[in-house]
């Protein structure tokens, strides 16, 4: 199993998939994401995401009536070490995660969607590739 290389400092944007993997303890991906959360807690880096991630992560738990899981996502995404950016008119709806990360000047974008590689100047890491490395 590979490890995720993190910058020594700065902002790291994560979309909803790594959040889901971490909270729901995905056996392949969660271990590779632990350093992100540890570095965030220590203050070395700042984890940044969009309000869109909050909406996306809450859909499943709310649909299935799992208020405890919904609370875990809400607490994580509104924690002091997390920077939850608002959805604004400046951010294009079809690229909200990438645009938010770029607007925030993130040093890393962690996802499991290879399509983000098409976004110029977005430093993308695909978590499934890290796990396979």
pLDDT tens digits for range 12-49: 999 999 999 999 999 999 999 999 999 999 999 999 99
pLDDT (0 to 100) of residue 25:
95
**Mean pLDDT of the 79-93 span:** 82
The superfamily (CATH) of domain 10-132 is 5'-nuclease (3.40.50.1010)
CB 124 within 8 A of CB 22: no
Question: Does pTM surpass 0.95?
Answer: no
Question: Using CA atoms, how far apart are residues 131 and 40, in angstroms rounded to an integer?
Answer: 20
57-61 average pLDDT score: 95
> In this predicted model, which residue has the larger pLDDT, 109 or 91?
109
Compute the distance between CA of residue 92 and CA of residue 2 in angstroms, rounded to an integer: 33
93 — pLDDT class (breaks 50, 70, 90): low
Question: How is the chain split among helix, strand and coil, in percent rounded to 5?
Answer: 50, 15, 35
Sequence-separated (6 or more) residues with CB below 8 Å from residue 10 = 45, 46, 106, 107, 108
Domain coordinates in residue numbering, the chain:
10-132
Q: What is the pLDDT of residue 127?
A: 95
């Amino acid at each position: 199993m590979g490890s995720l290389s993190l910058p020594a400092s700065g902002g790291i944007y994560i979309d909803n998939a790594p959040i889901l993997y971490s909270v729901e303890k995905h056996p392949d991906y969660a271990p590779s994401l632990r350093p992100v959360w540890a570095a965030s807690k220590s203050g070395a880096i700042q984890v940044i995401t969009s309000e869109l991630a909050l909406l996306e992560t809450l859909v499943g738990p709310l649909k299935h009536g799992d208020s405890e899981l919904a609370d875990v996502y809400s607490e994580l995404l509104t924690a002091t070490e997390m920077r939850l950016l608002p959805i604004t008119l400046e951010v294009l709806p079809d690229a909200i995660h990438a645009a938010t990360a770029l607007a925030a000047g993130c040093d890393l974008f962690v996802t499991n969607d290879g399509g983000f590689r098409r976004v110029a100047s977005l430093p993308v890491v695909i978590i499934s590739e890290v796990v396979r490395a």
